[in-house]
Chain A
């Protein structure tokens, strides 16, 4: 029996379940680096020219594909490997995620040194993307089993790490690039190697300390519900069956539209605030605005998701979607009013609920489908993120371009998109209201789902 086998990770008596969130955080804080990949955008376009792009240097759109590929493979690998993750357990999955994510950086470093963009697509995009997907879903199932009394708080804490990883990733990358920069190099290659090694070790630390609870373990004083009530089931639904339920697809739409709306703002935040408040907000202030949005995105993941343990998952999504729709309608009004504080306040609440939507979904899935294969079901649901990752920025950017070509400026460039986002959230709200308990015919009847 190897060290990475699931059976070797079963916790003994006296093990504190509070050791599991740091394990999950170690992985999520690492893979959250993907949100900070933009810090490499400019340096990667100056590998030959150094101070400015040379004719043979890569262009920004070519470089932008690295991030898109990584996010695409995050969703795909989470969907494809979800059942494997459930079978082999969190330790092997986290270790595999560490190998993929760290290895992706190392391969990309060679891509930089040999100036082969395809190697970076393959390294950070494909291999690193698989590391992202495996790492993202690896602790979910384990956390909901350790915290049956507070699943929202537990998964919220881990997924908050994904938001927080961007802060570490961006500052660490800038620090390393500055350190490795020489007269003949921008320092990206060595930075990739250093990041690969650091993240590999950090994720492996999570893999070493993670444990799964023993069969039938429950927290002291916790009495599991004996009857299904409201939306919390006592049964378990396998991933293959969950895929066939209307509840899965309703939540898929809810997540997709909630993410579409939030990512549209996040991606366009800096130019948006500068164009809405011309002359009043310049680039450094816009940078502060983006930082503030990221902080609320991170904090919202923990705060909203923890709150859902008390309000129930359906109720909290009603808040995200209804309040979100109202706030999106307020953005053009806030822009026209010229009040920056009002505008910023509206945006930070929206971004906190964007993060909250991500973090609450594993607990919602656990309520509806039971804990047995919640990680794999979550993995399949993350395909909604892949779709939203394209839909949100495309809607904001293309509508803005269309309006600009017709002579619009300032708030008018964004107002129709904000109303459209509000409309998407209303569709999400209707889908959320349609969510009912899963029919018993989908429940798994055996003892073990099989290997």
Chain B
């Protein structure tokens, strides 16, 4: 594998990994944020 393809596959893996952990976290936080207006109403 050339250095260039190695770097691009590394970059893709990096992107996919962060998406896999980021999406559920954002979804969980978003659903929790929906409960906040009740406190300040």
Q: Are A and B associated in one complex?
A: yes
Q: Which residues of A come within 8 Å of B, CB atoms?
A: 14-16, 18-19, 22-23, 25-26, 29, 161, 164-172, 205, 209, 281, 284-289, 291-292, 294-295, 298, 344
Instruction: Return chain A residues, CB-CB under 8 Å to B39.
Output: 281, 285-286, 288-289, 291-292, 344
Residue interface bits B19-41, CB-to-A below 8 A is 1, else 0: 01100110111011101111111
Residue of A nearest to B17 (CB): A22
Q: How distant is A286 from chain B, measured CB to nearest CB, in Å?
A: 8
The answer to whether B6 touches A288, judged by C-beta atoms less than 8 angstroms apart, is no
A171 and B17 in contact, given A14-B6, A285-B39, A288-B39 (Cβ under 8 angstroms): no
The answer to whether B38 touches A294, judged by C-beta atoms less than 8 angstroms apart, is no
A19 and B14 in contact, given A25-B21, A168-B24, A288-B35 (Cβ under 8 angstroms): yes
Question: What is the CA–CA distance of A169 and B27 in the complex, to the nearest angstrom?
Answer: 11
Q: How distant is B9 from chain A, measured CB to nearest CB, in Å?
A: 10
The answer to whether B41 touches A16, judged by C-beta atoms less than 8 angstroms apart, is no
A171 and B20 in contact, given A19-B13, A209-B13, A292-B39 (Cβ under 8 angstroms): no
Question: What is the CA–CA distance of A336 and B40 in the complex, to the nearest angstrom?
Answer: 19
Residue in contact with B20 in the complex, picked from A26, A165, A168, A284, CB distance below 8 Å: A26
Q: Is the interface of B mostly helix, strand, loop or mixed?
A: helix
Instruction: Return chain A residues, CB-CB under 8 Å to B35.
Output: 287-288, 291
Instruction: Return chain A residues, CB-CB under 8 Å to B13.
Output: 19, 209
The answer to whether A168 touches B28, judged by C-beta atoms less than 8 angstroms apart, is yes
The answer to whether B10 touches A16, judged by C-beta atoms less than 8 angstroms apart, is yes
Question: What is the CA–CA distance of A161 and B26 in the complex, to the nearest angstrom?
Answer: 11
User: Can you spell out 17 A-B residue pairs with CB atoms less than 8 angstroms apart?
Assistant: A14-B6, A14-B10, A29-B21, A167-B25, A167-B28, A167-B29, A167-B32, A168-B25, A171-B27, A284-B38, A285-B39, A288-B40, A291-B32, A291-B36, A291-B39, A292-B39, A294-B32
A285 and B21 in contact, given A14-B6, A168-B28 (Cβ under 8 angstroms): no
Instruction: Return chain B residues, CB-CB under 8 Å to A26.
Output: 20-21
Q: How distant is B37 from chain A, measured CB to nearest CB, in Å?
A: 7
Instruction: Return chain A residues, CB-CB under 8 Å to B36.
Output: 288, 291-292
Residue of B nearest to A165 (CB): B28
Q: How distant is A279 from chain B, measured CB to nearest CB, in Å?
A: 14
Residue of B nearest to A160 (CB): B25
Known: A26-B21, A288-B36, A295-B29. 7 other contacts (CB 8 A): A164-B25, A168-B24, A170-B28, A287-B35, A291-B33, A292-B39, A298-B29
Q: How distant is B11 from chain A, measured CB to nearest CB, in Å?
A: 8
Instruction: Return chain A residues, CB-CB under 8 Å to B37.
Output: 288
Question: What is the CA–CA distance of A354 and B20 in the complex, to the nearest angstrom?
Answer: 27
Residue of B nearest to A20 (CB): B17
Q: Select the residue from B3, B11, B14, B21 with max chain A CB neighbours within 10 A.
A: B21
